[in-house]
Amino acid sequence: MRSIAFVLLTASVAHAQWQIQNSHSHAGLRGIDYVGHGVAWASGTGGTVLRTANGGETWQTCAVPADGEALDFRAVQAFDANTAIVMSAGTGDLSRLYKTTDGCKSWKLIWTNPDAPNDGFYDALVFVTPKIGLVFGDPAHGSTRNPVEGSYFIFRIRVTHDGGDTWIPIVSFGKPGENLVPLPNDGIFAASNSSAVVRDGTLWIGTGGSGRVLRRDLYRTPEEMAHAFEATHCAGNVDPLSHSCGIHWSDWYNVSIPLAGGSSTSGIFSLAFRTSRIGVAVGGDYRKPDENARTAAFTLDGGLHWLAAEKPPHGFRSALAYEQETKSWIAVGPNGTDISRDDGRTWVARKPKTGEPPDADQNWNALSLPFVVGPDGRIGKRVATVRQTH
């Protein structure tokens, strides 16, 4: 019997560093959303929105919305090559939402912060489907008690079920630290549009100051999802924007997590979940970018309990994402990039290799893999190459 020799091929993944791309922009970029099939949108200061349809080989500079030259677009949510919504962050009427349906040739103003001119600052934008979305903002300035209603001010949340045409306020009550009622110095960071996330019907919000995660189950079935974002008729005060009394969301689960906190510059900057139970949070103090103590935590039970990373990232991190191809978590910040392959327990710094720019790992703000963005129009793309070995 003739013997046959088999050569076994195994695949190993070589983790490439960020490949720097030419955005032809000098804007500070904090918004990035990869749609798939080579389409991605980025956003930033000076009313800047960028778009690529060929995987980043070229980046198109979009039209600036009317009166938008001074706006800081901290978030972008894209749906395809033609349709996207951008959120500007700022006090009063500087917090706005614009939508394009023609590949960013033109923009329509679809919402302006109703607490203008002196209050309200919006931080994050999340869409669950092209129709259902949420926008998140800080609580009111000053005292947490609302003198008009005799209750406490809450974190601002508005939801849409019609693709952004109507934005309905969320109503919640409680004492400080309960439901959506903030603790002193509580806020939401508008650093990378990843301080809030919805997965499998559950919403998580990471806060700055107290460093808490606010968790609420929104829906469990398609039928529940359809009704979770619709206001009901009532006899109370009517919101002038949505012409409704809002939607009452209670039963929040709030938990402090072992991340740096206690000041207005520290706390949770980014949350992500790879399943409904396994999630990671990163952050720290953005004024102390090189301090690595308490810069990451992880959960294995859907955010009910959190553990500090045994070996944290090498400094403050403003964004993270899970890469399915390599089964890795990636976190970025001003002083570097870190990777975890054990669901956030331990992190290893990724340094540029020979032939790569010496700062390829640094000066990043936000992630939507494979893309990463940062200051001065900085855009990078991650490419994990697979090598065949015997």
Would residue 176 count as lying in a domain? yes
Residue 193 has pLDDT above 80, yes or no: yes
Task: Tell me whether residue 256 is in a domain.
Answer: yes
pLDDT at 28 (0 to 100): 98
- For range 356-378, the mean pLDDT: 96
Q: Is residue 343 over pLDDT 90? A: yes
Report the greatest alpha carbon distance in the chain.
92
Residue 9 has a pLDDT of 40
Determine, yes or no, domain membership for 1. no
- Tell which wins on pLDDT, 361 or 143: 361
Domain harbouring 122, CATH code = 2.130.10.10
E strands, 238-327, in order: 247-248, 253-256, 266-273, 279-285, 296-299, 307-308, 319-323
303-342 burial code (b ≥16 CB/10 A, e <16): beebebbeebbbbbbbbbbbbeebebbbbbbbbbbbbbee
- Inter-CA distances, 32 with 76, 163, 279, 335, Å: 6, 19, 21, 19
| 239: its two tokens | 């919101």
Structure tokens that stand for 314 in this block: 């090498």
pLDDT of 16 over the 90 cut: no
Q: Is the pLDDT of residue 1 over 70?
A: no
Instruction: Say yes or no to pLDDT of 316 above 80.
Output: yes
29 within domain boundaries: yes
Q: For the chain, how far is it from start to end, CA to CA, in angstroms?
A: 26
Cα–Cα distance between 136 and 124 in angstroms, integer? 5
> Rounded distance, CA 310 to CA 347, Å?
8
For residue 179, is pLDDT > 80? yes
What pLDDT does residue 17 have? 79
- Above 90 in pLDDT, residue 291? yes
Task: Please provide the average confidence, as pLDDT, over all residues in the chain.
Answer: 90
CA proximity to 328, closest of 365, 280, 291 = 280
| Residues 195, 262: Cα–Cα separation, whole Å | 17
The CA distances from residue 325 to 291, 343, 370, 373, 383, in Å, are 30, 14, 11, 21, 10
Dig out the tokens for 142 from the structure. Answer: 């000053």
* Residues of the domain holding 305: 10-389
* Banded model confidence at residue 84, pLDDT cuts 50, 70, 90: very high
Which two three-digit tokens encode residue 190? 């508008």
pLDDT at 235: 64
* Buried-state track 255-274, b at ≥16 Cβ within 10 A, e below 16: eebebbbeeebbbbbbbbbb
Interatomic CA distance for residues 122 and 137, integer angstroms? 4
Whether residue 3 lies inside any domain: the answer is no
The number of helix segments (H) and strand segments (E) in the chain equals 1, 33
Rounded to the nearest 5 degrees, what angle is found at the Cα of 328, between the Cα atoms of 352 and 13? 65
59: CB partners within 8 A, 6+ apart: 21, 22, 23, 24, 25, 42, 50, 51, 52, 379
Q: Which residue has the higher pLDDT, 52 or 145?
A: 52
| Cβ–Cβ < 8 Å for 312, 291 | no
Q: Is residue 5 part of a domain?
A: no
Label residue 229 left, alpha or beta by phi (over 0 means left) and psi (-120 to 50 means alpha). alpha
3-state helix, strand, coil in the chain (%, to 5): 5, 40, 55
In a domain, 88, yes or no: yes
Residue 340 lies in a domain: yes
Using CA atoms, how far residue 105 sits from 34, 63, 66, 382, in Å, is 19, 6, 12, 28
Number of structural domains (the chain) is 1
**Residue-wise pLDDT tens digits, 114-143:** 887 778 899 999 999 999 999 999 997 654
Summarised one tens digit per residue, pLDDT across range 238-270 is: 888 888 889 999 899 999 999 998 899 999 999
